[in-house]
Amino acid sequence: MEDQLIFTYIIDGDDFTRAGEASSSVKNKLKMLGVSSEAIRKTAIAMYEGEINMVIHANGGTITVTISDTDITMVLADQGPGIPDIDKAMQEGFSTAREEVRSLGFGAGMGLPNMKRFTDEMEIDTVVGQGTTITMKVNL
Amino acid sequence: MKLQTVLELPECKVLVKGNPDREISKVFCCDLLSIAMGKAPADSVWVTVMGNKNTLAVATLADVACIVLAEGISLDDGTLAKAEEEGVCILATELPVFDIALVIYEASGA
């Protein structure tokens, strides 16, 4: 069986300024493991976008990152409101973020499209009123 | 061009030095963090008026070499200390975004 490293992070839903700490931690770990800088950049950007989304929309959640010989898999699970229309949410520029979030420079409707662009696989599993689980994979 | 060239520009005040030997790829201008996240090139100098903790988080995760805060914008001490830790260079200038970007571009000799 191949070796795997698994890291789990609890994302705090209240503190917008701390969003990014989990992604930074993963980035540093991947650096120490000697992962290529391109794969690190892709993982860091996709995970940070996901982290921000969880704080903005879902009052936090958990992120599990699994690193194997062949890929990095991120599973982002929240118990937020769910995504009623995934096609719409995937459109660049479509956003339901609050004004306060926009004034910080986010909420431009780039989060999910960026997550897709920077990963090799992405799957969204969402139930309105129950939550969303997004699985993203970056190949090594 | 190395970061050192940008650090020496009289138009900029150095808030955090970063790594002067780092090779710079491009000059990038954007104030929307959502867009910068996906578009800022690795090892770039990023000129912006968006000065908050998240600016540094985006720069760190997108591998930006240097943030240039235009129009007299600054960052709080906590964020500057964090930038020091992350090795991200932070400069500040009174110039508008385009003007300082042009100065840096011309200094690069591109």
* Tens digit of each residue's pLDDT (9 = 90 or more) over A29-41: 999 999 999 999 9
Residues A57-110 pLDDT 10s: 999 999 999 999 999 999 999 999 999 999 999 999 999 998 988 888 898 899
pLDDT score, position A2: 65
Residue A114 has its nearest CB partner, among B38, B52, B55, at B38
Distance from the Cα of residue A100 to its chain's centroid = 21
Residue A105 has its nearest CB partner, among B33, B61, B62, at B33
Average pLDDT score over residue span B45-53: 96
Give the A:B interface size as CB pairs under 8 Å.
Answer: 68
Taking the alpha carbons at both ends of chain A, their separation in whole angstroms is 18
pLDDT score, position A15: 81
Q: Which of B37, B43, B69 to mutate to test the interface with A (most CBs of A within 10 A)?
A: B37
* Longest Cα separation, chain B: 35
Domains of chain B, first to last: 3-107 (3.40.1390.20)
Average pLDDT score over residue span B52-80: 95
What burial letters (b/e) apply to B13-28, b meaning 16+ CB within 10 Å?
eebbbbeeebebebbb
Place of tokens 């599973």: A75
pLDDT score, position B110: 66
Considering only CA atoms, which of B2, B3, B1 is closest in space to residue B89? Answer: B3
- Residue numbers in A near B62 (CB within 8 A): 41, 44-45
> pTM of the predicted model, to two decimals?
0.89
C-alpha distances (whole Å) from B54 to each of A39, B27, B61, B86 are 22, 20, 10, 13
